[in-house]
Structure 1
Amino acid sequence: MKPAAFDYLRAATTSEALEALAQQGGDARVLAGGQSLMAMLNMRLAKPKLLVDIMRIKELRRIERQKDAVVIGASVRQAELLAWPALAEALPLVALALPWVGHMQTRSRGTVCGSLAHADPSAEMPLTLVALGGEVLLRSAKRRRRVAAKDFFAGMMLTARADDELIEGISLPIARDGRFAFREVARRHGDFAIVACAAMKTSSGVRLAVGGVADVPTARDWPRLDGTALDDALNAFAYELGARDDVHATARYRRDLVRMIGRDLIGEVLQ
């Protein structure tokens, strides 16, 4: 299929993009990498009246290391972040997860923030944002606001972004002496995950985040657990995620993966 007719705006500045979103509201969609949006347009799952292209806005193409966080702009491509020299040191979990995002060809076009805006619960970047406790930086013509990762994802492919808002970037805390691990199971490397897990050592114990099971990526914090206590916590978490059968896997298989991968990753970060 081909997209329904729409107008196209190549915004030169953030202000120009925000003005268009303020005027068109829900009738506008933001185009960055387009790896998800173009498919939705072709299948007419999305039929905007206006497409606002932000990829020529230089101020949104930044990777900025601040005192305690790294800010990644809305037009930074996944491949650009993966090639950032300080990635493994500043954001080790992102460095582990990014190679699992699609393929080299799609990462060269897709943007980090575009993946978050699409909010597929099986995608790696939303999971990473939740695991790290990052923030989404939203901006409209009238205001700026920061939304915590746990509050940004509202459901499957639903977010807290208002129709007149642009995801200006994200803020991820810089790693401080922590240990991180990531693993996923998919039909093929580069496919969306059947189950993906991220684990990190925290000051009070461990955090495990899971994607591909619930409608949103979900994290749990536990004190240091061993033996049956860890098994019981993982089993309860696996059921709380509300897995469902689909064409890719059964709910039982997803719960088994959460328990198995979760135990392995927790052991890895706490060793």
Structure 2
Amino acid sequence: MYDGPVLDNHLHLDPINGRGVEAAEEFERAGGTHLHVLNKPSWDLVGEVDDEDGFRKTFDLTVGVTESADEVLPGQARPVLGVHPALISRLLERGYAPGGAADLMKAGIDIAAEYVASGSALAIKSGRPHYDVSDAVWDASNEVMRHAFARAAEVGCAVQLHTEGGEDFETVAEWAEAEGLTREQVVKHYSGGYVEGPIPSVISHEDDLERACGGAWPFLMETDFIDDPDRPGAVLGPKTVPRRTATLAEAGHGAALRRAHVETPARVYGIDTEATLG
């Protein structure tokens, strides 16, 4: 059996339009202990962004709701801040060229790195579009992602990636290493049970988790809860990781769960989820 910390590595809490800290309370009642709270896309929280101030407002809202969530958990809630890769498409629709859009997104990454350096955030979020784009947009997006790797290396943190699906991200891991970041500090958000290169943050579907538990590689668990009142429970609800953890523990996967909730968070983020249990 497993009787330790329970971390949801990627969910959103929306203090403006969603349930906010109430979702964290639901997570805690289900047995959850630790949360990594990703800022929602800037346009969902503060509208269109054209300068650094828009990113700061987005990040401050996320830091604030995460602090509230931290107060209701027996463990910790920590923010992961950055720029959603789909912002590039919104900027193009508003007249930006790919290079100009990339420059603005890099500025957002720079600000996220400031929050990490000050201790206000745990890690950086970046990535590239998960949908078809032109070569120019793809290249600009990869440039932003590599900038995130470089800034994360400077401030000593991990990067969570929002990207297309698939399992082969070896090239992305090599890019991170070229920018001075270890591949173990690169996390592929919304992964299946396994990816090549980065650490998989496994979306908590039963079959994906069974595959991850059956292997020997490091992995994390997540819901990608969106906190959108028009889409309640999307992608997965906040009770999912604690419930899946309990089910997997009953099935004899205690060692794998310790890997997901204790060993891999220490390996990726340098955090001790056991010591931070209240």
TM-score range, shorter chain: under 0.3
More helix by proportion, 1 or 2? 2
Question: TM-score scaled to structure 1, two decimals?
Answer: 0.24
More strand by proportion, 1 or 2? 1
Which structure has the larger Rg? 1
Larger RCO of the pair (alpha carbons < 8 Å, separation 6+): 2
